[in-house]
Structure 1
């Protein structure tokens, strides 16, 4: 099997490279964490001899991470982790780097998607950087002979970490992987602010509609749902939360949001956004009660949260009414509108740019230091899912604060001793 790099698939790769390079240069200007790390990587070449296989959303911010690793000495092979999130021009610009091969292309079908992952695996990666765990799964299922030479991996997103933990619980994960998604510098900023802002921005750009006065139903009140609810409320929407976990539901209630079962919430909704990482969150029973003109969007990693098979079966016609908006007409005349084909709305829409640059600088800074940790100390980690060491997370926060010109206090010796002792009482 031979799957060609993006530059061999485009009719005019040179024009694409120029366009992609402009996007990357803009992103790079606003990514001080990766810029700081890059300086050290260029000087020390910590990744010399390593092959980094990546399955990510290939757009400008991701490209800066890939280049940062490549300029630290790694051979990088990369493809997309979603069929609709790649920017072809960025992929082409990345492929032009002498240490990078990019197979990512927008709009691939399922067969091409997995062929591209296999093309990356053919480079025989020693480190994997994944978003959703498709590459890790493919290696374990189809290329187990490579596992002995893989130092470890990093996983970017909630869905991928859930899959990895399930795999680890079953005793099937055979090399160490850092759960980058779960560390504070990723979870508290990327998931909350990144998802919240980018989902609303892409909904607005795709539909040209306002949120003020609308009822927005947020399915799931994890970090992503929490951020989305907060941002939507800030744009004067009425926010309703649906949940299956009692404590999160109570948290949403105590934050002032209305909490309802999805069947009741769906009947009130002007907009529904799923953020659960689970399947069949919005199904036939909910389609039957929705208002005419409702917008349905998914902010989870895979396109399984809104059951489009059931929606298609109910529809009398399906029409693309705008770029990125597919209208399903019901027998009673109601129109239900699905954005980005039910895929990750903040990255898979026709004009989607993903999370804000500054937010992704933090997440990808954590990715970069985790790759460095695997190279320097990978043999200290057993097979399985590992939390990101706190010192690495703090390192990234310190670089960000310095770049922002923010100074903080230090503990005095007495304070440090007090906090580290159990002997101080009343």
Structure 2
């Protein structure tokens, strides 16, 4: 096939934008909390004159969040996370007057350039995911230009409280500190989407299969419970004694990664920390074990060590990679060690209802920063209690929980 013929088979930007618009329209119609917020923001314009720099997975639900911020007067400059950007949604957002960097096929190097592009646009507020924008602002010595912002993830909150502690002079509301988000989005939505993505990507059955969930935080809890609900046999690896105790009382086998490695068929990491599934454990796994990560950064599985130890590797498709070892064993790696429920094939991510809740937390927290930053302490902090309770009441109403 000639180059011209190959190019003719690629969707045009117009085709992509139309596809993205159709997907966003469906999702917008199922996010009533953000719909009400758009009407409120259109009246009070809390972000008028503000430029919000965003780093967050670019998919249809995120587009509805950005529309809501734009309705409140915000100028949006954004990029996605590595491996999870959806090109049709990017095309749609560009058509809505937003500045968006990135594509699904971006290398990690290009992703870093995309982050730099967001910061080059001189935002005065940040909507961060993993602490990348906050770290970039600190590295540039440009913290004085930032009014404040939000951080979506546990991983980002950890960075703000460790490597960035004491050097962030503006308030950052950590959305993942919210108990409301922990229950609604992390436990139930991540739990559901991870199990759904495993079944969709691999076409393997859950009942009777042996799963090892590494980490028993809110996401790990959800993954473990949803796997067991579908008939999976589940072991938990957890270094925190209290969480390990909880997992044991919840009826899960609790062990170390090395000890449970020969037992498990599928290993799913959900900790937010680096190197929690190392070659010490991988070398003890049986032939055909499946490795997957649902944490924010692609560092929980020792992918570099895995590839260095392999004598051969082969991509089965864009989400499944087979790696063969000299002893005759092989393992399967999903989505290259990235968040496989967002970076894998046919990514859907968390449920619409959970993201309606989670993104309302984002919008109201950003509004609090925009209108009352001086009343907030600098650095990482939880979602204000009144915001949590307001959203809980609204969510209960949309669920018709009293009926």
- How far apart, CA to CA, are the structure 1 residues paired with 2:144 and 2:280? 48
221, 229, 234: which one aligns with 2:224: 229
Higher alpha-carbon deviation: 172-181 or 224-233: 172-181
Report what 2:170 is aligned to.
175
Report what 1:217 is aligned to.
212
Q: C-alpha offsets along residues 128-155 of structure 1, whole Å, 9 cap, x if unaligned?
A: 001111111111102x23x223110100
Higher alpha-carbon deviation: 228-237 or 286-295: 286-295
Q: Is 1:118 the equivalent of 2:121?
A: no
- How far apart, CA to CA, are the structure 2 residues paired with 1:134 and 1:161? 11
> Structure 1 regions of 5+ residues with no counterpart?
1-9, 409-426
Report what 2:37 is aligned to.
37
Higher alpha-carbon deviation: 252-261 or 382-391: 382-391
Report what 2:5 is aligned to.
none
- How far apart, CA to CA, are the structure 2 residues paired with 1:116 and 1:323? 23
- How far apart, CA to CA, are the structure 1 residues paired with 2:317 and 2:210? 22
After TM superposition, give the deviation of residue 168 of structure 1 in Å: 5.0
- How far apart, CA to CA, are the structure 2 residues paired with 1:167 and 1:286? 28
Q: Is 1:163 the equivalent of 2:159?
A: yes
Report what 1:101 is aligned to.
99
After TM superposition, give the deviation of residue 407 of structure 1 in Å: 4.2
Alignment of 1:21-420 (within 5 A): 21-81=21-81, 83-98=82-97, 100-142=98-140, 144-145=141-142, 147-167=143-163, 169=165, 171-407=166-402
Describe the shift of the 1:385–1:317 C-alpha distance in structure 2 as closer, same or farther (beyond 3 A).
same
Higher alpha-carbon deviation: 377-386 or 364-373: 377-386
SS of the residue aligned with 1:267?
Answer: coil
Aligned residues: 394
- How far apart, CA to CA, are the structure 1 residues paired with 2:105 and 2:318? 14
> Structure 2 regions of 5+ residues with no counterpart?
1-9
SS of the residue aligned with 1:268?
Answer: coil
RMSD: 1.4
After TM superposition, give the deviation of residue 182 of structure 1 in Å: 0.8
- How far apart, CA to CA, are the structure 2 residues paired with 1:214 and 1:405? 36
SS of the residue aligned with 2:262?
Answer: helix
- How far apart, CA to CA, are the structure 1 residues paired with 2:196 and 2:266? 14
- How far apart, CA to CA, are the structure 2 residues paired with 1:168 and 1:18? 41
After TM superposition, give the deviation of residue 110 of structure 1 in Å: 2.1
After TM superposition, give the deviation of residue 234 of structure 1 in Å: 0.3
- How far apart, CA to CA, are the structure 2 residues paired with 1:113 and 1:392? 33
Alpha carbons 1:206, 1:323 under 8 Å: kept: no
- How far apart, CA to CA, are the structure 2 residues paired with 1:278 and 1:329? 26
After TM superposition, give the deviation of residue 402 of structure 1 in Å: 2.1
Q: Which of structures 1 and 2 has the bigger CA Rg?
A: 1
After TM superposition, give the deviation of residue 406 of structure 1 in Å: 3.4
- How far apart, CA to CA, are the structure 1 residues paired with 2:134 and 2:402? 40
- How far apart, CA to CA, are the structure 2 residues paired with 1:191 and 1:383? 26
Report what 1:421 is aligned to.
none
Give the TM-score, by structure 1 length: 0.90
- How far apart, CA to CA, are the structure 2 residues paired with 1:334 and 1:251? 34
- How far apart, CA to CA, are the structure 1 residues paired with 2:144 and 2:308? 47
Alpha carbons 1:167, 1:173 under 8 Å: kept: no
After TM superposition, give the deviation of residue 11 of structure 1 in Å: 6.6
- How far apart, CA to CA, are the structure 1 residues paired with 2:70 and 2:230? 41
- How far apart, CA to CA, are the structure 1 residues paired with 2:360 and 2:226? 25
